[in-house]
């Protein structure tokens, strides 16, 4: 009889599945109201494939190509770099999603969403701020960006900093080219860089 009861206890745990979606939504509201949501993230669809966007109270901290780096890895990196209080909160990313949609529809050439620069190291921040100043449709070389960041000889380090751009598209590292009009590399793969530049009219669509 003892054994039967143990077996029944194992098999009949009151887990209340299904109900837990409501309590999870309520928890997210509480976390947000109490200011405990350090990093909110959401999935965003784009013509370049699925993206993961993340924001702090200060502004956007991440925009990742999910086809390029996997979601768990991206979220773990956010937890390590910014704060482990990372929660999926799509409503917080609505403004970013809206601006990205407009950009890809050709209705927007500048982003208005705030960027949180605070997790970036000093040199990377200067490089990416110089990059953010390159206008829609324009482009600059790695050397030019390094120069504008105050260190003209650091073009290699500029390439590295751009390769680690945490917010591609919105910080437009696709507008930074290699010397001699060659495109150079891109965090999301060269095909994405080409697509963005064609959208901005900086590059003629390839024929064939």
> Which of 66, 86, 114, 183: binder of another protein (CB under 8 A)?
86
Q: Binding to another protein by residue 110, rule CB under 8 A?
A: no
Number of helices (H) and strands (E) in the chain: give both, helices first: 8, 6
Tell me the three state secondary structure of residue 33: helix
| Cβ neighbours for 75, distance < 8 A, ≥ 6 positions apart | 41, 52, 86
> Which of 88, 101, 129, 147: binder of another protein (CB under 8 A)?
88
Torsion from C-alpha of 180, 190, 49, 105, nearest 10 degrees: 20
Quick one: 47 or 84, whose CB is closer to another protein? Answer: 84
Tell me the three state secondary structure of residue 6: helix
Active site (annotated) includes residue 173: yes
Span interacting with another protein, options 21-29, 149-157, 164-172, 179-187, rule CB under 8 A: 21-29
Report the interface residues with another protein, using CB under 8 A: 1-2, 5-6, 8-17, 19-20, 22-24, 26-27, 30-31, 34, 36, 38-39, 41, 72, 75-76, 78-80, 83-88
């Amino acid at each position: 009889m003892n054994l039967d009861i143990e077996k029944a206890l194992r098999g009949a745990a009151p887990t209340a599945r299904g109900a837990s979606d409501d309590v999870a939504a309520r928890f997210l509201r509480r976390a947000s109201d109490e200011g405990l949501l350090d990093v909110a993230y959401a999935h965003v669809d784009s013509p370049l494939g699925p993206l993961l966007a993340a924001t702090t109270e200060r502004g956007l901290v991440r925009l990742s190509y999910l086809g390029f780096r996997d979601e768990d890895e991206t979220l773990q990196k956010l937890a390590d770099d910014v704060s482990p209080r990372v929660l999926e909160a799509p409503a917080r990313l609505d403004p970013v999603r809206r601006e990205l949609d407009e950009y890809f529809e050709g209705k927007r050439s500048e982003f208005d969403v705030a960027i949180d620069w605070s997790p970036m190291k000093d040199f990377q921040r200067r490089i990416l701020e110089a990059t953010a100043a390159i206008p829609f449709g324009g482009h600059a070389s790695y050397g030019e960006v390094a120069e504008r960041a105050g260190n003209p000889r650091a073009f290699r380090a500029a390439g590295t900093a751009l390769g680690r751009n945490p917010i591609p598209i919105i910080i437009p590292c696709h507008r930074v080219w290699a010397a001699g009009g060659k495109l150079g590399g891109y965090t999301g793969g060269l095909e994405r860089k080409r697509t963005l530049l064609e959208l901005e009219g900086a590059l003629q669509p390839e024929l064939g």
